[in-house]
């Protein structure tokens, strides 16, 4: 009959208690961290996946940040374009008045002065700088003053594009050559300048001739607003795409490397019970051994 | 017929036999918890007719095949334990999943590029990008250094363990001689034999050991047939620096066997596996990752233009080769502390730079999703994921193998215990037997003494 020695009992008992301790420690760590996979060896495939998931999640954060910055820029540009439209509306009013024979030279001189102010407003807007000192409407030549008083454009036609969503990029601004002096279109500053000159010269015919150009310039600015609006729609659409993808990625991450609180605590309770049982059993066995020897 | 005097002799031999039996039983009880102790069983026989009882022999409870099994399982268990332990810092160095991991550092670089694409003229953003690039360089350097240092530390541990193993080899050889002397003189050598078995077990734990018994003498071999003890003669293993790596090879002097470390088991086998395989593989993967990262970013960056219209500038000092790329990775001195030198544009000249041009910054961002690693089959994040999976898989397997080996070792120890161990309750019962027999024999002697006294008074 195989013999059971005391050393065998001690070895087996110690092994059971140590195994129970180890499982309890592992269950405690999972419950505390909420992670099923806290190191690569816990589940190498899930760990590998988590590297990619974390990279994608951080990409989405960056895209959102870029989208927020772009949106702020669009808001500013939209305000600028509205201001320019208001200026052109007032310029048209002054041109209509100025072409009316009932006004005299003195009236037209006053109108010319106001148009000069409108011109300065548009010039300031066209040459606006951001907080970094970049000229917003210069294209890539952000250190170059885009417009002179005559509306001659010194920037370029390039625009920045940034990624605001998965595989979705938008332009961050619109160049001055699409607003204030469009090739084949209208030179807004030149129109205001010549209107000012015509009013100052008391030339009603010349003033009247500016009306169509002002109308065309207003339409040109509206067109620029449409372009901005389209980009804004894309940014909004990207927000929805980002949110959906983020939810999907976080769900995947949760199922692969995280552990839900109920599951973690359930495992912890189980491990605690198993450990207590091992301790109790070990204590009972050792007590029995001791009693047996004492009786003998 | 022996007569009364003969009866006294019977009583005397009986007392001695039962005293010796109690002494042997007491020794068993006292040594019950000593690891590797082999129980001794007194074999009593009755002598010639009317000669009483005697202890014919004291049998040492041991079976060679059980001892060899324990040595084998011990070696395997220690090998897996040593490897598992060393893989923990290795995993932390290159496969950390947390916020301080290499993945986070890499992602921060691309986040920096993304910020630069949205604000290419912002010097604060550019400085932040430089900071993140330096973090990446430092992280990769530190990981490579950690691997290098760990390899050196393991090498030192191997040297220390080899010295300890040679000590055990000497002990076994000496004990072979001592046991031979004692047994030749006809005396028992159980204590010496237990000492020798403990030395063999320790040697097995360190480097693995196989024992063949020839006429009571142990011939000990390691690493599949390399004899290190034959009778009273030890053959010590020695260290010899590898001419290429500078790490220590283990050799048997005065032989042409060459480096032996890959043939050893025990803790040494685990350490050698980590030093020569696991760390080397991790170093190679890290070097490849560093090389691919530097090359890919350099290629895109050099094609771009900085704020001063300069082109052709690398971000990293171009690595000469894959090997050593991780430890040697450095930022190009031209861009350190010079945020203007980051090439965010794809056009411009020195006379007319394009500060608003972000196209090259966009191209740098796009690198993160391009297959520029793994021979053109992986993105940089995927390459990093492969490293994580590889190292994590090695550790997981080592842990699993250790658990299995530990279970088999426990079984082997239990089997040996069944044959050689001490059951205290059984020994207590034997003790009671000897005590009772001794008391009865003493009573017998007392009766014979009374009978003799009666005769003498006649």
What percent of chain B has pLDDT above 90? 70
CA dihedral A140, A142, A144, A146 (to 10 degrees): 80
Sign of CA dihedral B53, B58, B59, B61: positive
Contacts of B284 (CB under 8 A, 6+ apart): B322, B323
Tokens matching residue B63: 């079976």
The answer to whether the beta carbons of residues A71 and B124 sit under 8 Å apart is no
Cα-Cα end-to-end distance for chain B: 22
> Which phi and psi angles does A140 have, rounded to 5°?
-85, -15
pLDDT at residue B50 greater than cutoff 70: no
* Most confident option among B48-57, B250-259, B384-393: B384-393
Average pLDDT rounded to a whole number, residues B118-145: 96
User: Which is more confidently placed, B110 or B257?
Assistant: B110
Average pLDDT rounded to a whole number, residues B425-435: 89
Q: Which of residues 10-69 of B touch A (CB under 8 A)?
A: 32-33, 35
Average pLDDT rounded to a whole number, residues B414-430: 89
pLDDT tens for A239-253 read 999 999 999 999 999
Q: Residue A76's pLDDT is what?
A: 94
Calpha distance A261→A259 (Å, rounded): 6
Best residue of A2, A22, A23, A44 to probe chain B, by most B CBs closer than 10 Å:
A44
CA dihedral A22, A23, A28, A29 (to 10 degrees): 70
pLDDT tens for A48-69 read 999 999 999 999 999 999 999 9
Q: Residue A296's pLDDT is what?
A: 59
Contacts of B34 (CB under 8 A, 6+ apart): none
pLDDT at residue B2 greater than cutoff 70: no
Tell me which residue has tokens 């000496």: B174
Question: What Å distances lie between residue A286 and A11, A12, A217, CA to CA?
Answer: 12, 12, 99
Among the listed ranges A16-25, A205-214, B38-47, which one has the minimum average pLDDT value? Answer: B38-47
Question: What Å distances lie between residue A75 and A56, A61, A81, CA to CA?
Answer: 28, 21, 10
What percent of chain B has pLDDT above 70? 98
Calpha distance A161→B164 (Å, rounded): 67
Q: Residue B9's pLDDT is what?
A: 83
List the one residue out of B386, B372, B222, B398 whose CA is nearest residue B300.
Answer: B372
Which chain A residues are within 8 Å of B384, Cβ to Cβ? 51
Average pLDDT rounded to a whole number, residues B380-401: 96
Tell me which residue has tokens 């082997």: B412
The answer to whether the beta carbons of residues B4 and B450 sit under 8 Å apart is no
This complex has an ipTM of 0.90
Model's pTM, two decimal places?
0.89
Among chain B residues, CA nearest to A38 = B97
The alpha-helical segments, DSSP class H, found in B185-278 are: 190-207, 266-273
Q: Residue A142's pLDDT is what?
A: 94
The 3-state DSSP class for residue B90 equals helix
As a whole number, the mean pLDDT across chain A is: 93
The verdict on a CB contact (< 8 Å) between B95 and A42 is no
Which chain A residues are within 8 Å of B396, Cβ to Cβ? 41-44
The answer to whether the beta carbons of residues B346 and B359 sit under 8 Å apart is yes
> Which phi and psi angles does B212 have, rounded to 5°?
-115, 135
Which chain B residues are within 8 Å of A235, Cβ to Cβ? none
Best residue of B371, B385, B432 to probe chain A, by most A CBs closer than 10 Å:
B385
Q: How many interface pairs between A and B have CB atoms less than 8 angstroms apart?
A: 186
The alpha-carbon gap from A10 to the nearest alpha carbon of chain B, in Å, equals 9
Q: Residue B1's pLDDT is what?
A: 53
Question: What Å distances lie between residue A7 and A14, B27, B190, B256, CA to CA?
Answer: 10, 16, 19, 45
Calpha distance B105→B107 (Å, rounded): 5
Q: Residue B392's pLDDT is what?
A: 95
Question: What Å distances lie between residue B219 and B60, B69, B72, B225, B416, CA to CA?
Answer: 20, 16, 15, 11, 21
Q: Residue B214's pLDDT is what?
A: 87
Q: Residue B7's pLDDT is what?
A: 83
Count the residues in chain B: 458
Among the listed ranges A161-170, A273-282, B49-58, B309-318, which one has the minimum average pLDDT value? Answer: B49-58
The answer to whether the beta carbons of residues B40 and B58 sit under 8 Å apart is yes
pLDDT tens for B256-309 read 888 899 899 999 999 999 999 999 999 999 999 999 999 999 999 999 999 999
Calpha distance B39→B57 (Å, rounded): 14
List the one residue out of A251, A94, A160, A145 whose CA is nearest residue B122.
Answer: A160
User: Which is more confidently placed, B237 or B56?
Assistant: B237
Average pLDDT rounded to a whole number, residues B418-429: 89
How does residue B381 score in pLDDT terms, banded at 50, 70 and 90?
very high
Q: Residue B51's pLDDT is what?
A: 67
pLDDT at residue B67 greater than cutoff 60: yes
Tell me which residue has tokens 């771009």: B304
Which chain A residues are within 8 Å of B417, Cβ to Cβ? 5, 7-8, 11
pLDDT tens for B137-158 read 999 999 999 999 999 999 999 9
Q: Residue A231's pLDDT is what?
A: 94
Average pLDDT rounded to a whole number, residues B85-107: 90
Q: Residue B46's pLDDT is what?
A: 79
Among chain A residues, CA nearest to B101 = A51
Tokens matching residue A73: 């820029």
Calpha distance B369→B303 (Å, rounded): 19
Which chain B residues are within 8 Å of A49, Cβ to Cβ? 385
Calpha distance B157→A238 (Å, rounded): 57
Tokens matching residue B400: 């699993």
The verdict on a CB contact (< 8 Å) between A45 and B389 is yes
The 3-state DSSP class for residue B236 equals coil
Question: What Å distances lie between residue B67 and A233, B201, B209, B265, B308, CA to CA?
Answer: 79, 9, 11, 17, 78
The answer to whether the beta carbons of residues B368 and A17 sit under 8 Å apart is no
Q: Residue B57's pLDDT is what?
A: 75
Q: Residue B47's pLDDT is what?
A: 66
CA dihedral B403, B408, B414, B418 (to 10 degrees): 170
How does residue A3 score in pLDDT terms, banded at 50, 70 and 90?
confident
Q: Residue A295's pLDDT is what?
A: 64
Please name the helix (run of DSSP H) or strand (run of DSSP E) that holds residue A204, with its range, or none: helix A204-257
Closest in B103, B422, B425 to A51, CB measured = B103
Average pLDDT rounded to a whole number, residues B156-173: 95
Q: Residue A292's pLDDT is what?
A: 67
Question: What Å distances lie between residue B296 and B10, B218, B304, B367, B379, CA to CA?
Answer: 97, 62, 13, 8, 10
Calpha distance B434→A137 (Å, rounded): 110
* Most confident option among A83-97, B218-232, B242-256, B421-435: A83-97
The 3-state DSSP class for residue B46 equals strand
């Amino acid at each position: 009959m195989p013999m059971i020695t005391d050393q065998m009992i001690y070895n087996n008992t110690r092994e059971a208690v140590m195994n129970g301790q180890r499982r309890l420690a592992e269950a405690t760590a999972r419950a505390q961290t909420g992670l099923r996979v806290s190191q690569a060896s816990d589940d190498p495939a899930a760990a590998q996946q988590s590297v990619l998931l974390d990279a994608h999640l951080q990409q989405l954060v960056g895209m959102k940040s870029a989208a927020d910055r772009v949106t702020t820029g669009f808001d500013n540009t939209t305000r600028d374009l509205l201001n320019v439209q208001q200026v052109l509306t007032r310029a048209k009013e002054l041109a209509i008045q100025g072409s009316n024979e009932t006004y005299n030279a003195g009236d037209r001189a006053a109108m010319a002065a106001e148009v000069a102010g409108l011109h300065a407003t548009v010039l300031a807007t066209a040459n606006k700088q951001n907080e970094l000192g970049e000229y917003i409407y210069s294209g890539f030549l952000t250190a170059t003053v885009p417009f002179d008083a005559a509306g001659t454009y010194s920037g370029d036609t390039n625009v920045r594009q940034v990624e605001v969503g998965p595989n979705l990029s938008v332009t961050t601004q619109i160049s001055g050559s699409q607003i204030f002096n469009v090739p084949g279109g209208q030179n807004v500053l030149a129109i205001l300048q010549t209107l000012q000159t015509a009013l100052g010269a008391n030339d009603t015919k010349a003033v009247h001739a500016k009306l169509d150009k002002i109308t065309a310039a207003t339409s040109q600015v509206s067109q620029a607003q449409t372009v901005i609006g389209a980009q804004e729609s894309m940014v909004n659409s990207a927000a929805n795409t980002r949110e959906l993808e983020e939810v999907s990625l976080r769900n995947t991450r949760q199922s692969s490397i995280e552990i839900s609180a109920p599951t973690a605590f359930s495992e912890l309770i189980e491990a605690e019970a198993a450990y207590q049982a091992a301790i109790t059993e070990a204590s009972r066995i050792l007590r029995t051994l001791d009693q047996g020897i004492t009786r003998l | 017929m022996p007569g009364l005097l003969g009866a006294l002799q019977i009583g005397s031999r009986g007392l001695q036999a039962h005293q010796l039996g109690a002494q042997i039983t007491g020794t068993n009880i006292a040594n019950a918890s000593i690891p590797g102790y082999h129980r001794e069983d007194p074999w009593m026989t009755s002598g010639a007719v009317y000669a009483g009882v005697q202890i014919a022999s004291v049998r040492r409870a041991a079976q060679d095949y059980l001892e060899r099994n324990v040595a084998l399982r011990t070696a395997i268990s220690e090998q897996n334990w040593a490897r598992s332990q060393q893989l923990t810092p290795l995993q932390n160095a290159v496969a950390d999943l947390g916020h301080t991991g290499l993945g986070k550092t890499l992602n921060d670089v691309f986040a920096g590029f993304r910020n630069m694409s949205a604000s290419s003229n912002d010097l604060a953003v550019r400085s932040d990008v430089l900071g993140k690039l330096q973090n990446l360089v430092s992280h990769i350097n530190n990981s490579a250094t950690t691997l290098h240092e760990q390899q050196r530390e393991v090498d030192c541990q191997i040297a220390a363990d080899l010295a300890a193993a040679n000590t055990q080899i000497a002990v076994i050889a000496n004990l072979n001689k001592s046991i031979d002397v004692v047994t030749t003189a006809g005396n028992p050598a159980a204590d010496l034999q237990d000492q020798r078995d403990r030395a063999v077990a320790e040697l097995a734990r360190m480097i693995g050991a196989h024992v063949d018994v020839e006429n009571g003498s142990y011939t000990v071999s390691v690493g599949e047939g390399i004899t290190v003890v034959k009778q009273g003669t030890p053959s010590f293993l020695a260290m010899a620096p590898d001419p290429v790596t500078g790490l220590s090879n283990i050799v048997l002097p005065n032989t042409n066997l060459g480096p032996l470390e890959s043939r050893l088991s025990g803790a040494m086998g685990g350490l050698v596996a980590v030093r020569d395989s696991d760390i080397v593989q991790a170093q190679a993967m890290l070097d490849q990752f560093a090389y691919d990262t530097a090359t890919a970013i350099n290629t895109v960056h050099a094609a771009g233009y900085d704020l001063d219209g300069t082109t052709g500038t690398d971000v990293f000092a171009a690595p000469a080769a894959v090997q050593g790329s991780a430890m040697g990775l450095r930022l190009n001195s031209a861009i350190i502390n010079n945020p203007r030198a980051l090439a965010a544009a794809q056009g411009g000249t020195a006379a007319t730079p394009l500060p608003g041009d972000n196209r090259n910054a966009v191209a740098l961002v796009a690198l993160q999703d391009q297959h520029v690693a793994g021979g053109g089959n992986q993105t940089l994040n995927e390459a990093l994921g492969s490293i994580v999976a590889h190292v994590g898989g090695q550790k997981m397997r080592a842990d699993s193998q250790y658990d299995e080996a530990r279970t088999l070792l426990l079984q082997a120890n239990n089997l040996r215990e069944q044959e050689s161990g001490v059951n205290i309750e059984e020994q207590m019962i034997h003790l009671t037997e000897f005590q009772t027999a001794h008391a009865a024999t003493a009573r017998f002697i007392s009766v014979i003494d009374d009978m003799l006294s009666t005769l003498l008074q006649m």
